[in-house]
Amino acid sequence: MRSAGFGLSSRRVVAIYIGALLFGGLLIAASAFAAGDHPVDGFAAHAADPHAEGSTHGQLIALFGLRFWSFATAFFGVTGLLLRFAGVPGGAGIAAVVGVAAGLGASVFFRKMTREAVGRVGDAGALVGREGRLLLPVGRAQQGKVRLARPAGGHVDLVAEAGEDEALATGAEVIVVEVRGNVAVVARAPATRPGAA
């Protein structure tokens, strides 16, 4: 029945647009909230890890990760709604193109921001001895991510790996013992080791 407002099929299309907008919008908001004052990160920070750059598979995961889908669905939803209410024919196709473009643009932008943030660390030797907190766990043959405070304020996130043959969980306090390129080799902070005073 199509007498008032949208017909059944129209209502379904509008519901899809609204659902996509809410889904993508919530992911973006959650990512921004999790990132705090570091807009490059988020709960999808694994998608931007530099160690994922080494393979085509890793690059595709980084490019089409959670950040891509959050921006793609949000922009698909809002564009579809605007075109629907404006009466533009073929709105779903246009909305899909806009969504994909927005998702790709956001992925590329934030990956570039992440690489630039890592590149601004400067002298790698200055990081040795600095303490931080793990954002992603590390273990034997498993890289994670560590957050280090900047002397001038703020923080920087680096790919991390364990300096000893031990597993360190997310949230563990660690100390940087070595830096290999953009990878920080970490160990459990002295104050948190068993038997520490």
CATH number assigned to the domain comprising residue 174: 2.40.50.140
Domain boundary pick from 92, 119, 146: 119
**130 and 174 share a domain?**
yes
Examine residue 59 and state whether it is found in any structural domain, yes or no: yes
Examine residue 3 and state whether it is found in any structural domain, yes or no: no
How do residues 6-49 score in pLDDT, each as one tens digit?
Answer: 444 788 888 999 999 999 989 888 877 655 444 333 333 333 34
Domain boundary pick from 119, 137, 155: 119
Structural domain span for residue 148: 124-192
Q: What is the structure's pLDDT at 81?
A: 93
Examine residue 178 and state whether it is found in any structural domain, yes or no: yes
**41 and 73 share a domain?**
yes
Among the listed residues 155, 171, 161, the one whose alpha carbon sits nearest the alpha carbon of residue 35: 155
Is the pLDDT score of 115 beyond 70?
A: no
**104 and 132 share a domain?**
no
Examine residue 2 and state whether it is found in any structural domain, yes or no: no
Q: What is the structure's pLDDT at 194?
A: 55
Q: What is the structure's pLDDT at 119?
A: 45
How do residues 126-175 score in pLDDT, each as one tens digit?
Answer: 778 888 999 988 887 788 899 888 766 777 888 888 877 778 888 899 98
Examine residue 70 and state whether it is found in any structural domain, yes or no: yes
Domain boundary pick from 68, 101, 119: 119
**17 and 112 share a domain?**
yes
How do residues 56-113 score in pLDDT, each as one tens digit?
Answer: 555 555 567 788 889 999 999 999 999 988 888 888 899 999 999 998 888 888 777 6
Contact 144, 135 (CB under 8 A): yes
DSSP the chain: --SSSS-HHHHHHHHHHHHHHHHHHHHHHHHHHHHTT-TT-STTGGGG-GGGGGSHHHHHHHHTSHHHHHHHHHHHHHHHHHHHHHT-TTHHHHHHHHHHHHHHHHHHHHHHHHHHHHHTT--GGGGTT-EEEEEE-BBTTB-EEEEEE-TTSSEEEEEEEESSS--B-TT-EEEEEEEETTEEEEEE-GGGSTT--
**108 and 170 share a domain?**
no
**17 and 108 share a domain?**
yes
Sign of CA dihedral 12, 18, 19, 20: positive
Q: What is the structure's pLDDT at 10?
A: 82
Examine residue 182 and state whether it is found in any structural domain, yes or no: yes
**22 and 46 share a domain?**
yes
**86 and 43 share a domain?**
yes
* Amino acid in position 27: L
Question: And the tokens for 109?
Answer: 């932008």
Phi-psi region of 181 (alpha: psi -120 to 50; beta: other; left: phi over 0): left
Question: And the tokens for 113?
Answer: 């921001």
Q: How many structural domains compose the chain?
A: 2
